[in-house]
Amino acid sequence: MEGAEEELERRSRFLKSLIQKKKVSEKQEQHDHIQNNNVRVRACDMPLLLQNRAFCCARDLLDSMPANKLDTKRLALTLKKEFDSSYGPAWHCIVGSSFGSYVTHSLGGFLYFSIDKVYILLFKTAVEPLDHP
Q: Where are the domains of the chain?
A: 1-36, 40-133
Q: Rounded CA gap, 91 and 106, in Å?
A: 10
Q: Which CATH number fits domain 40-133: 3.40.50.150, 3.40.50.720, 3.30.740.10, 3.90.1640.10?
A: 3.30.740.10
Helix, coil or strand: residue 111 = strand
Q: Which amino acid is at 52?
A: N
pLDDT of residue 36 exceeding 70, the answer is: no
Q: Sheet with 110-115: list strands edge to edge.
A: 39-45, 110-115, 118-124, 91-96
**In the predicted model, is pLDDT for residue 79 greater than 70?**
yes
Task: Please tell me the distance from the alpha carbon of residue 53 to that of residue 109, in angstroms, as a whole number.
Answer: 13
In this prediction, residue 91 has a pLDDT band, given cuts at 50, 70 and 90, of very high
pTM of the model: 0.71
DSSP 52: H
